[in-house]
Structure 1
Amino acid sequence: MNDLNHPFENGSKQDKDIETLSILLAHWIEHNKSHEENFREWADKSEKLGKTKVSEMISKAADSLNAANLYLLEAKKHI
């Protein structure tokens, strides 16, 4: 049977997917924060090792994770 014949089951699935999405967004935000912190730590270490370009690229990657988190946080507001 198709889902249109069972609107309550479809709503239940939709509610479950929304709950899962909310959990995933929270997980992704925390996961990215952890990686961002680690990236910044290694950017500092790279700089101290005289690897300026490496440090710069790792810092840019950390900035990108931070930017991604801003989008994820905004998405989470709209759940």
Structure 2
Amino acid sequence: MGEERLKRLIMHWIDHNEEHKARFEEAAREAKTMGLEAVAEALELAAGRASEVSQQLRKALEAFK
């Protein structure tokens, strides 16, 4: 795998991960409206972890420069 392919792959992972993060946040809001606080908290934590993953992927991408 060459550098350009690896960069594209990392960019794809960032985009894909951000989609998951948004869905986790949406599901957390929905869980709250259903009174499922523990579920909402777990989903919010997952969204936060997804943000951390995206941040690390961005650092990996930046390291190419």
Shared fold by TM > 0.5? yes
Deviation at 1:17, TM superposition (A): 1.9
Unaligned runs of 5+ residues in structure 2 are: none
- Aligned pair count? 64
What is the distance in 1 between the residues matched to 2:2 and 2:53? 22
TM-score by length of 2: 0.93
Residue pairs, 1:37-52, within 5 angstroms? 37-52=22-37
What is the distance in 1 between the residues matched to 2:41 and 2:27? 10
Give the greater-gyration-radius structure (CA): 1
What is the distance in 1 between the residues matched to 2:56 and 2:2? 20
Deviation at 1:78, TM superposition (A): 1.1
Q: 1:25 aligns with which of 4, 7, 10?
A: 10
What is the distance in 1 between the residues matched to 2:42 and 2:2? 36
TM-score by length of 1: 0.78
What is the distance in 2 between the residues matched to 1:58 and 1:24? 26
Higher relative contact order (CA 8 A, sep 6+): 2
Identity %: 30
Q: 2:49 aligns with which of 64, 67, 73?
A: 64
> 1:36-77 CA distances to partner (integer Å, 9 max, x unpaired)?
001000000001100000000011001000000000001101
